[in-house]
Amino acid sequence: PFLTSLVHGPVIDHYVDPDNPAPGRDSQMVTTPDGRLRVAVRTTDLGGGQYRYHYAIMNLDHDTGIESFSVPAPRSVQTGDTGFKDGDSTADDWNVDIAGGMVTWTAPSASEVLTWGVLYSFSIIAGDSPEPSTLVLTPPASADLTVTLLAPDATIFSDSFED
């Protein structure tokens, strides 16, 4: 049988439709003088106050690539609940660290940065509901890039007392 519904464009646009994201999903383009990246997230309510956050980053044509990716990490994120996928099973998985209020995945070497045309995915499970938050992408030897997407709510008090 022939395919009857080809979708044009990068695969990440099929993961989360940037023009019409479903509830609990979001997709944003990051455009810089060095090129473009698309970052998307799907959130899933696992029940019992737990949520899965599954991020995808695709380097469309960003020259230097991305060597680390950080998401706000409220106190409910545990090390064992993090994940990384790059499409193979070799030992090149990015390292994960939870510190300074962030979960950060870092390329294990300069040869493993997120390069042109590549899509990597990252996931966490947290006991905090999704809220728009600032995520950080770090290119090698360059200023951090930020994007606002859904992430675990890092608010300490539900009544905004800390403000």
Confidence of residue 127 (pLDDT cuts 50, 70, 90): confident
pLDDT at 93: 80
What mean pLDDT comes out for the span 10-39? 94
The chain-wide mean pLDDT, for the chain, equals: 85
Range ranked top by mean pLDDT from 6-15, 18-27, 87-96, 107-116:
18-27
Is the pLDDT confidence value at 53 over 60?
yes
| Comparison of pLDDT for 76 and 31, the residue scoring more | 31
pLDDT in tens, 62-110: 999 999 999 998 776 765 555 666 555 555 588 888 888 899 999 988 8
SS3 of residue 79 by DSSP: helix
Is the pLDDT confidence value at 26 over 90?
yes
**Contact criterion met (CB below 8 Å) for 54 and 42:** yes
pLDDT at 141: 85
What mean pLDDT comes out for the span 28-32? 96
For 27-45, b where at least 16 C-beta lie within 10 A, e where not — what string?
Answer: bbebeeeebebbbbbbbee
Q: Which residues pair with 116 in a beta bridge?
A: none
Cα 22 to chain centroid, rounded = 17
